[in-house]
Structure 1
Amino acid sequence: MALHFGAKQMFSYDPEKSSIDLTEKYVNFSKGLLSFPLNVPGTAYHKCLEDHKKALNVMLEVLNKRLSSPETHQGDVLDHIIKDMKVENFLTEEFAVQLMFGLLFVTFDSLSATLTLAFKLLAENPTVLEDLTAEHEAILKGRENPNSPITWEEYKSMTFTLYGTHAIPAGWAIMAVTSALQLDPNTFENPLAFNPWRWKDVKANVISKHFMPFGGGMKQCAGAEYSRVLLSLFFHVLVTKYRWTKIEGGDIVRTPILKFRNALRIKISKKHT
C-alpha cells in the first residue's frame, strides 16, 4: 500500500496497468541488501540485483515516455524532475531514475514497517489510541469546514502523533548504532514497552544523543520529512474515520532491524457518524 501510494505520487504508477509488480521487486531488493554478496543465480543477493534492474527499467520507461511527449503533465514528482533536468547538468536520465528509486525505497521500507507496527501497537494499547484519537478529533472540531484539507499549522499541532526534530551542532561527527542507543535502559525506562507518553517528559539533550530515527548530521535520511508528514496525515484519517481490531500475527523480531515474523491480520471498518 505505502509503495503504491508513493509510486503514484512519484511517477503516476498504476499497478493494474503495469506488467511489473514493483512491490515484489522492492521486497526482493530489501531482502538482498544485508545478504552475503554472492552474485550467482538462486541467492538473495543475485535476486536483489536482478529486481533492482527491473524496477529501474520501469521508471526509465516512464521517464522516456514523458521526455518524448513534453506536453504531457501528470502533476507528480517526475514532472518536477524533468523540469529541473533542463537547468541542472547533473540531472541526467540515469541520475533521475536512481533518484526516484531511492525516494520510493523510503516509502516502502520504513513506512510499511511503521504502519504495520502502528496498527498492531494501537490495537493492543487502547489508552494510547484514545489519546491519539482525541488529538485528531480536536483538529476537526476546530475547523470551520470539517472536510477541508489539513493545513501546515494543524500538522505541526499534532504533538502526540509526532515528536519534534532536533538540531545537530555544527562540526559534530556522529557514528552511532542507533538501535543500541534507542534501546538503552539507562536512558529509556523499559525501552521495549510501547509508551508514547515518555516523550512528554524527556529532555531535548537526551533526545539529540539517544534518539535518531532518521540518522543525523549531513547524512540524515532524505525522506525524513516526507515520512513524518505521510504518517501524520495517515493517522489523522485513520483514527477519525475508522476502527480496527487485531485478528492474528504481527510477531516482532529484531535483527537488530525491526521486522515481522508473520503478516499482521486486522479487521477494519468505518466509524458511524
Structure 2
Amino acid sequence: MLEFYGLFPIVVSLILLKLCHSLYRWRSPKCKGRLPPGSMGFPIIGKTLEFMTPYDFNSVVSPYLKKRISRYGSKVFRTSLFGAKVIISTDHEVNMAMAKSSTQLGATESLRRLFGENSDFLQRKEIHKYVRNLTSRFVGPENLKTRLIQDIDVLSRNYFEMDDKAISSSFDIKEAATKMVVDLIVKKVIGEMESEAVKELGLCWTAFRTNWFSFSYNVPGTTVYRFVKARRKVTKLLKGLIQEKNTSKEGLGDFLEILFDEMKKDSAALDIDKAVNLIFTFFILSQETTPGILAATVKLVADHPNVMEELKREHEAVVENRGDNQTGLTWEEYKSMTFTHMVIKETLRFTSAQPTVHRIPTEDTQVGGYTVPAGWLFFGIPLVHFDEVKYEDPLKFNPWRWKGKDLHGTLSKDYIPFGAGATLCVGSEFAKCIIAVFLHHLSRFRWSLDPKTRVLRRYMLMFPAGCKVEIAKELSDQS
C-alpha cells in the first residue's frame, strides 16, 4: 500500500505531463511550411461556439471574422471548428486558388455523417464531376426551359390562390418555399407516388431542417445522432421506391429516367444505392438553401419600397403583354425579367458572407505565402462581395448596381455566391428560377412582411420569428 501511495504522485504527474504535451501540440501545430497565424482554442471545442454565434443580418461581416482579421493583421488564419483543424480565408486570391486546385470538397464531420461517408457529393474530384454532369442534365438551363419552369410556376401559383370571397391571405415564405421545393423534387425526381408515401417522405425531411454544422459525436440526444437515424429511415424509404420504379418503369420522374438510363451502360459508375444517395443529397441541399435565400430576398425587398415598386411594375408588364390564351409563365418571360434578375444577383451578393469555398487538401498546399496542411479543412469566405474597391457602397442593398451587366452568370472574378472551381453549384440556375417565379407571383399582389421578421446570419441564414407575408388582392388582378 505504501508503495502505491509512493507511485501515485508519479503516475498523476506523468498523466498531467502527457495532457499538457498533447494540449501544446494541439495549440501549436507544426507543418512543412508556414502556417497562417491563429489560435486553436481547446481541443474539440476550439472556437466553434464563437464562430457559430448568430449576428444581425445587416452587419454583413461577423464579429468573429472582424476580431481575427484585426488581431492577426491577416485575411488568412488558422483555428479549430467542430473538432477539426481549419484554415479560414477571406482573401479572394487565396480562395480562388484553392477553388481551382485539385483538392477534395471539404466538409465537417457532422456533414459527412449527414450525407453519408460514401456520398458522391463528398468524393474525389473525378466522381464529383461525374455527379455534376448527371445533375446538370436535370437542373441545367435546357431542362429548366423545356420542363421545370412550368412546374415551378404551377406550384408557386398555388400559394397565391385565394377563395373568391377572401381579400387577403398569409403564409410563411420560407416554409412555403421549402414545401414547394420538396413537392417539385418528389414529382420531377422520383415521379408518381402513392399519397401515403409522399406524406411519409415529407415528414422525414423535417428532421434535417436544423443546424447541419455541429460537433460530430453520434450519441443519443445530439444533432448528429438524429441526422444519422433520420438518414437511415429516408434512404430505406427511397430505396424501396426506386427499386419499385426500376422494376415497373412506370411514372418515372425526369431525374430518375436519367439515372436509370445511366445504369444501363456497361461502364456505368451508378447503381441503386448510389442513386438513392444522390437523390437524398439533392433533396437535402435543395430544401434548405434555396428557401432561405428566397426568404432573405423578400425581406430585403420589403425593406426597400423602391425595389418593391420596380418589381411590381416589371411583373405587371409581363402579365399585360401575354396573349389571351396564355395561362402560365414562359421561359422567354423569365429571361426578360431584367430587374428581377438584378434583385436576385444583388441578394446573392449581399447574403454570401459565409464560406462558399470548402476544400480538404490531400497534400500540403502552398497558397498566398502560407501552407494549408493535408487533411485540414479550408473555408473560403467571399468578403470580396463587400470590398469597396470592387463595389461602390458595398454594405448597401442596391440592385441597380447590376444595370447593364451580365445578369445570368453565376461566377466572375469578384462574384462567387455559388462557390467556384470544380465544385461550382450545379443547381444555381434552378435556385434563381425558383426565386424569380416566386417573386413574379408575389409582386402581382399588395403585400407586406410581418414586422417581427428578423434575419440572423450564422453558417446559414436564420429566421427566428419566421418570415410571414400577408398578401391582398388587387382590384384589377384577375389573371
TM-score, normalized by length of structure 1?
0.81
Q: Identify the residue that residue 211 of structure 1 maps to in structure 2.
A: 415
- Cα-to-partner distance string for 1:5-43 (whole Å, 9 max, x where unaligned): 333332246578533413313314xx2x31111111111
Letter paired with 2:251: H
8 Å CA contact 1:103, 1:223 repeated in 2: no
Choose which of 399, 420, 430 in structure 2 pairs with 1:196. 399
Choose which of 409, 415, 431 in structure 2 pairs with 1:227. 431
Assess, with a 3 A threshold, how the Cα gap between structure 1 residues 145 and 158 changes in structure 2: closer, same or farther: same
Q: Identify the residue that residue 253 of structure 1 maps to in structure 2.
A: 456
Deviation at 1:186, TM superposition (A): 4.2
Q: Identify the residue that residue 26 of structure 1 maps to in structure 2.
A: 208
Deviation at 1:128, TM superposition (A): 0.6
Deviation at 1:258, TM superposition (A): 2.7
| Residues 39-78 of structure 1 aligned to structure 2 (within 5 Å) | 39-70=218-249, 72-78=250-256
Q: Mean Cα displacement is larger for which, 35-44 or 187-196?
A: 187-196
Query: In 1, Cα distance between the equivalents of 2:413 and 2:196?
Result: 41
8 Å CA contact 1:56, 1:98 repeated in 2: yes
- Cα-to-partner distance string for 1:93-120 (whole Å, 9 max, x where unaligned): 1111121122222321221101211222
Q: Identify the residue that residue 79 of structure 1 maps to in structure 2.
A: 257
8 Å CA contact 1:4, 1:15 repeated in 2: no
8 Å CA contact 1:39, 1:45 repeated in 2: yes
Deviation at 1:144, TM superposition (A): 2.3
State whether structure 2 residue 269 is matched by structure 1 residue 90: yes
Assess, with a 3 A threshold, how the Cα gap between structure 1 residues 57 and 265 changes in structure 2: closer, same or farther: same
Assess, with a 3 A threshold, how the Cα gap between structure 1 residues 187 and 260 changes in structure 2: closer, same or farther: farther
Q: Identify the residue that residue 330 of structure 2 maps to in structure 1.
A: 151
Question: What's the secondary structure of 2:323's corresponding residue?
Answer: coil
8 Å CA contact 1:135, 1:160 repeated in 2: yes
Assess, with a 3 A threshold, how the Cα gap between structure 1 residues 269 and 203 changes in structure 2: closer, same or farther: closer
Letter paired with 1:77: F
Question: What's the secondary structure of 2:245's corresponding residue?
Answer: helix
Q: CA RMSD in A?
A: 3.1
- Cα-to-partner distance string for 1:222-266 (whole Å, 9 max, x where unaligned): 2112112222222222223x3321124331222253322331222
Query: In 1, Cα distance between the equivalents of 2:221 and 2:186?
Result: 28
8 Å CA contact 1:178, 1:210 repeated in 2: no
The count of corresponding residues between Structure 1 and Structure 2 is: 259
8 Å CA contact 2:262, 2:268 repeated in 1: no
- Cα-to-partner distance string for 1:169-199 (whole Å, 9 max, x where unaligned): xxxx998734422233443344343321122
The percentage of counterpart residues that share the same residue type is 29
8 Å CA contact 1:25, 1:55 repeated in 2: no
Larger radius of gyration: 2
Q: Mean Cα displacement is larger for which, 245-254 or 59-68?
A: 245-254
8 Å CA contact 2:218, 2:224 repeated in 1: yes
Q: Identify the residue that residue 153 of structure 2 maps to in structure 1.
A: none
Assess, with a 3 A threshold, how the Cα gap between structure 1 residues 247 and 146 changes in structure 2: closer, same or farther: farther
Question: What's the secondary structure of 2:338's corresponding residue?
Answer: coil
8 Å CA contact 2:186, 2:198 repeated in 1: no
Q: Identify the residue that residue 177 of structure 1 maps to in structure 2.
A: 380
Assess, with a 3 A threshold, how the Cα gap between structure 1 residues 210 and 179 changes in structure 2: closer, same or farther: same
Letter paired with 1:230: I
8 Å CA contact 1:245, 1:268 repeated in 2: yes
Gaps of at least 5 residues in structure 2 are 1-178, 346-366, 369-377
Gaps of at least 5 residues in structure 1 are 165-172
Query: In 1, Cα distance between the equivalents of 2:270 and 2:218?
Result: 30
Letter paired with 2:263: M
Q: Identify the residue that residue 443 of structure 2 maps to in structure 1.
A: 239
Assess, with a 3 A threshold, how the Cα gap between structure 1 residues 82 and 263 changes in structure 2: closer, same or farther: same
Q: Identify the residue that residue 390 of structure 2 maps to in structure 1.
A: 187
Assess, with a 3 A threshold, how the Cα gap between structure 1 residues 209 and 47 changes in structure 2: closer, same or farther: same
Assess, with a 3 A threshold, how the Cα gap between structure 1 residues 18 and 233 changes in structure 2: closer, same or farther: same
Letter paired with 1:182: H
Q: Identify the residue that residue 265 of structure 1 maps to in structure 2.
A: 468
Question: What's the secondary structure of 2:413's corresponding residue?
Answer: helix
8 Å CA contact 2:245, 2:252 repeated in 1: no
8 Å CA contact 2:314, 2:339 repeated in 1: yes
Q: Identify the residue that residue 168 of structure 1 maps to in structure 2.
A: none
Query: In 1, Cα distance between the equivalents of 2:426 and 2:447?
Result: 32
Query: In 2, Cα distance between the equivalents of 1:95 and 1:46?
Result: 22
Query: In 2, Cα distance between the equivalents of 1:243 and 1:93?
Result: 48
Query: In 2, Cα distance between the equivalents of 1:255 and 1:36?
Result: 16
**Structure with more contact order per residue of length (Cα contacts < 8 Å, sep ≥ 6):** 2
Query: In 2, Cα distance between the equivalents of 1:69 and 1:50?
Result: 29
Query: In 1, Cα distance between the equivalents of 2:197 and 2:453?
Result: 28
Assess, with a 3 A threshold, how the Cα gap between structure 1 residues 193 and 229 changes in structure 2: closer, same or farther: same
Choose which of 10, 29, 48 in structure 1 pairs with 2:189. 10
